[in-house]
Chain A
Amino acid sequence: MSKPLDGLRVIDLTQVFAGPTCTRILADLGAEVIRLESPNRVDITRNLIHTDNDGKDVPWERTLYFCIRNAGKKEVVLDLAQPRGLELLRRIIAESDVLAESFTPRVMRAFELDYEHVRQIKPDIVMISLSGYGQDGPLSDWAAYGMGLEPASGVSQLTGYVGGPPVRSGLSFTDPYSGFIGAGAVLAALHYRRRTGKGQYIDLSEQEAAVPLVGGALTDYAMNGRLPERIGNRSRWAAPQGCYRCSGDDDWIVISIESDDEWAAFCDAAGHSDWAADKRFATVDGRLEHHDELDTLIESWTNGQEHYEAFHLLQKAGVKAAPVLNGKEALLDAQFKARGQFEIIDQPHQGKRPVQRHLAAKFSAFDADVAGPAPTLGQHNEEILGGLLGLDADELAALEEQGVIATKPNLPFPAELVSAALKLPYDGFLENGTLLALEDDYQKQLGLE
C-alpha cells in the first residue's frame, strides 16, 4: 500500500507533546521520521508516567507518554555538545526533506542550526519551529510549557463554570492542537515545494495557533467592546445544552438541543409531554431564559438513566447526545473500535499496548495507520549513521566509545532509584479522587493478553 509521504525523510528534533504530535502524523502518512535525542538530556517524556507505574531497570523505555506520541518513528542518539555529534546531525539534515524542532528560539541559533544556516546545508528543506511564543517579539525567549499556553491563547478565559474562575482543560490542550496545525503547515509547504522546488521556514507560535478558537469572541470585542462570560457547558445560540448526571458512580451524558424539533423529540423520548407543552420552553429564547430550570428537569430524568442507554435512546429519537467517556470507556467504545481509533503496537519492554490515532482522517485509497512501536533509545544509530551516512563499524564503535552516540542515557543515579523517584502516588490519588480506579486485570479486559 502506497502512502502519500513515502520516500520523504524528516529529521525530528522536537520533544514532549506538540512537536512529536506533528511528526507522528507525518510518520503515519508514510514519512521516515528520525528522532534525535541526547544521551545527557533525553526527551523529558521518557521520564513521564511509567507502564504499571514502575520504570524498573529501564525507566526511559517504559513510559506510556513517550510511546503513544513516537510510535512508528526511528531514533538516533547524538551528543550535540561534542563537535562530532553536531557534524553528524548536519549530515543527516543534508539528507532530509523536513526538519522539525521545538526548542526555545535561542537554542537552534546557538547550534548555528537556525533556518539561515540550515538552508545552506539543504537549500530546499522545509523547516518548522514549534515554540511557545514564536521566533521574534518581546516574549520569544520566554520559557513555555504546554499547560501555560492554552491560557496564554485566550481559550481558558472562555472555559469554566458559570460565575467561576477561568479553567485549563484537563490536558495541555494547545500542544496537540499546535501539533495538528504544524502537520498541515508542513504538508502545505511540501505542496509548494513540489510545485516550485523551493523550501521554506515555518514559525509556529503555540500561543497564536490557538487564538482562532476564540475568533467569535474577538469579533464580539471588536464590534461591541464586550468580553464573553463563562457559560460552562451551555451554548450561546441554542438551549438547552449541558452535561447531566446519570446513574452509576461518576457517569454523565451531554445533551445538546439546537432546534424546536429537537426539543420536542427530547421531551418525547424522555416521556415528558408536559415539558413539551410548557409555553416557557417553546422557543429558543424561552429555553435560554429558563435554562437553570430546564437543567433541573433534565437531570431529574437523566439521574435514573444509564449513560450509554440514554445516549442511544436520545440519538435514535434524533437528539444530539453523547456519554462522557473516561479513558477505559474510550478504549472499549464500539464506535472507536469499529473505526480503529486505537491500534495495538508491540512495544519493547512493555508488550502489546493500545495507541490512539493522531490523524482522524480516513482515506479510501490508503490507511494512515501507525508504522510500528516507538523506538528504543538510539535504536537506529547504526541504520542511520551506517546505512544513510555510510559510516563503517569501526567508526561507529569509536563514536560509542567517545560517547557521541549511545543507546542508554547518562543517568545521575542507578536506574532503579530513578524509577522509584518517578513513581506517581497512586494510593493517594485513589484516596483523593484523582483516579477513579486502578484495575489489575486491565490487559485481560482490553484483550491484550
Chain B
Amino acid sequence: MKKYGKQIIGCVAAAAVYAAVMILVNGGFLSRQMMSLIIPVCMNIILAVSLCMVVGFLGELSLGHAAFMSIGAYSGALILKSGLPTVAALPLAVLVGGVCAALLGLLVGIPVLRLRGDYLAITTLGFGEIIKSVFNAATPVTGGAGGLKKIPPVTTYRNFTFVYILMLLVILLVSNLVKSRHGRAICAIRDNYIAAEAIGIKVSFFKTMAFVIAAFMAGMAGVVYAGNIGILKPVNFDYNTSIEILVMVVLGGMGNITGSIIAAFLLTVLPEMLRGLSNYRMLVYAIALIAMMLFNNSPLKRMLVEKHNMRQAGKIE
C-alpha cells in the first residue's frame, strides 16, 4: 500500500483537477476569457514538461522548442482539415504531428548532439528561424504569411477531456522516464559526461533520445494549439515563443517537473489576470518573474528542499 502511495495521490489530484474544471465550465462559473485559457494552460504544461527533460535533466539548452511545436501544428492542421470525422482525425493529427516533429528533431539532434557545449542552443535557434521561413515560403501548403486558415476547432474547452488526458500522459511519461535506467543515464550525462562515458553510457545516443522524445511531445502540443486557435501563422512560432517556454522551465526550477507545471500554469494565466492593470501589466508581470526567481534561490526554498531530501533519505534506510 505504502509503495503505491505517491501514485494514488497523483491519480486523486488528477481526477480532482478534472472534476473541478468540468464543474467550473459546465456550471458557468468561468468568464469566457477564463474558459479560453483552459486549453493553452494544458498545452503550455506539455511544452514546459517536455522542454524540462532537455534543459533540466539532459542539461542541454534548446532554443527551438517553438519550431518543433510549429511542425506538429502545421502537419496536424493539414490532417484536421482533410475532412475526416473528428474522432479519427484528432488522434491521428496528434500522432502525425508528434512523429513529424520527432523526425526533424532526429535530423537536428544526430549531428549536433555529438558535440558538447552550447552548439545545440545555437543550432536550435537557427533551426527555428529556418522553419519559420520555410512555412512562410511554402504558400500553397501552409498559406504563407497569411496563415493556414479554417482549421476545425477540435481542441477547444469543449474537448477538454482529450487534451487533459494528453497532458497527463506527457507528465506521466516524462516523470516515469526520469525514474528509470534511461533517466539516470540522461542525468548522469548532465552531471558529468566524461564519467558517464566511463561507466558505459552511450552519451550521444541518450542525448539524441531525450531530445527526440521532447520534440515529439512539442509536436503534439502544436496540434493542440492548431485545433484551439483555428489559424496558424509562422510569426506565432518565433524566438519569443521558445523563450517563453524556456522561462517556464527555468522558473519551475530546472529539472523539477512539478515546478515546470506550476510555472506553466502561472505564466499562462498571469498575463490574462493582469489585463485589468492595462499599462502596468508587463511591469507587474516582470516583477512577478523576478519574485519567482528570487524565491527559487531563497533560503526558504533551500530549507524546504533539504527537508524533502532528508525525508527521502529516511525512506531509503
* Chain A bound to chain B: no
Residues in A lying within 8 Å of B, measured CB to CB: none
Residues in B lying within 8 Å of A, measured CB to CB: none
